[in-house]
Structures are given as C-alpha cells and as structure tokens.
Chain A
Amino acid sequence: DTEVTQTPKHLVMGMTNKKSLKCEQHMGHRAMYWYKQKAKKPPELMFVYSYEKLSINESVPSRFSPECPNSSLLNLHLHALQPEDSALYLCASSQDRGMNTEAFFGQGTRLTVV
C-alpha cells in the first residue's frame, strides 16, 4: 500500500465551525507533513511531524492545530477560520525526515470557508 489517504475530499465550513482534516498512511513512514496550496501556487509547508513529534511549525496561525495520535495518523484541527484560509490542504509522508527519500502526497482536502 503506497497511499496517503486524506478525508474528507471536500469541506465547506463556516467561520465559527470546528472541523478536522484526517490523513492516514500505512507505509511505516516516520515523517508526516501538512501543506497548504492556493490556486496556481506551489505548496506551502505548514507543519512537520517527525517520529510523532512536531518538528516544524511554519508560523501558522493558532486556528490551525495539528495532532499526530500515532505513527500512521495525522490530523489538522480547524477552528474560527477565515475565508482566505480556503485552499487545498495536502498531507504527505516520507520514510524519514527531510523528504530525501520518495515522498508521497495525498489527494488533498479542498477546503472552502464561507
């Protein structure tokens, strides 16, 4: 199984809602990532988990809260988002830190904040 599975595929939420994005991989990868991608722009790194510990937080607003419950799962909890947070949210994983080995991306969650 060489897949990174993200759910849901699409999400529409109001600015007062609380929702969560989920990411799962069963490749035994020890590094997992959250990226945000706006239309016609490259992915922007948000968070990196290495061996289930948060290793990078790219100055992301606190309305985004990551969680790594175990080595296979990565969540992104969303609260009080703004319309400008609408984007494609991508999860990725790699065997080890640094994405030197092949990194796998999920299909993304298309988030719309209304």
Chain B
Amino acid sequence: EDQVTQSPEALRLQEGESSSLNCSYTVSGLRGLFWYRQDPGKGPEFLFTLYSAGEEKEKERLKATLTKKESFLHITAPKPEDSATYLCAVQAPTSYDKVIFGPGTSLSVIP
C-alpha cells in the first residue's frame, strides 16, 4: 500500500537551532514528492517539488533533499515565523492526479 509517514510528529526548536524533518514513503515508482507549509486555519502553501534521488532544492532557510526512500526538510537557523505544520506529499503511481499527504510535522520555533 502506498504510504507516507513523517517524523517527528512535533518539534520545538529555539530560534537559530537548526534541525531536519523526515518524510518516508513507500510508493513504487515515485513520480514526484512535494513539501508544503500550512499555518493554522489556512490552506497549505507550496514549497518544493522533488523528482529524483539526489535532487536538492532551497528556499531561504529551507532545503529539501530526496533519496530513494525518504526526503528531508532541513531548516537552518529557524525564526519564529517558520513555525507551522510541514506536510510532505507524494504523487500516487497508480493515478497521475492523486497526491497522498503525510500526517505532517508541527514545528514551533521559540524566540
């Protein structure tokens, strides 16, 4: 069964304390892996798409990497405004239109 898991479920960081979020997936024939950020009561905001193992993308303090089994979202010197839930999603191999979301990691950055 196609599945996406994320760890940790919740993460508290001090401002400036770098860390990584993990997304593990068990889909055969990955078409694309996506990272989104979601603030409470709002819709997800697109961050990155990764297609193949070894690929990396960066945006401000965020860097996403992809291996054959997992993806990492590295947060360098986070600020309080980085506090949000970070969602990982994969494009289902059986259906081009279907995207499977992981449960998310709730990140809190403390000043």
Contact = CB atoms under 8 A, between A and B. Distances in A.
> Is B a genuine binding partner of A?
yes
A43 B34 CA distance: 13
Which of A92, A99, A101, A110 has the most chain B CB atoms closer than 10 A to its own CB? A99
B78 interface: no
Interface string B38-49: 000111111001
A43 B101 contact: yes
Contact of A100 (B43, B45, B91, B102): B91
B43 A105 contact: yes
Interface residues of A, number: 28
A84 interface: no
A4 interface: yes
Contact of B104 (A42, A103, A108, A110): A42
Nearest to B32: A100
A107 B43 contact: yes
A60 B106 CA distance: 28
A51 to B, nearest CB: 11
Contacts of A56: 95, 97-98
Interface residues of B, number: 23
B43 A45 contact: no
Interface SS majority for chain B: loop
A44 B42 CA distance: 15
B87 interface: yes
Contacts of B46: 102-105
A58 B97 CA distance: 11
Nearest to A91: B43
Given A31-B97, A100-B31, 10 more contacts: A42-B101, A42-B102, A42-B103, A43-B87, A48-B97, A90-B43, A97-B96, A98-B32, A100-B32, A106-B43
In order of increasing CB-CB distance, the 9 nearest A-B pairs are A105-B43, A42-B101, A48-B97, A98-B96, A102-B46, A105-B44, A90-B43, A56-B97, A99-B99
Interface of A: 4, 31, 41-45, 48, 50, 55-56, 58, 88, 90, 92, 97-108, 110
Interface of B: 31-32, 34, 36, 41-46, 49, 87, 89, 91, 95-99, 101-104
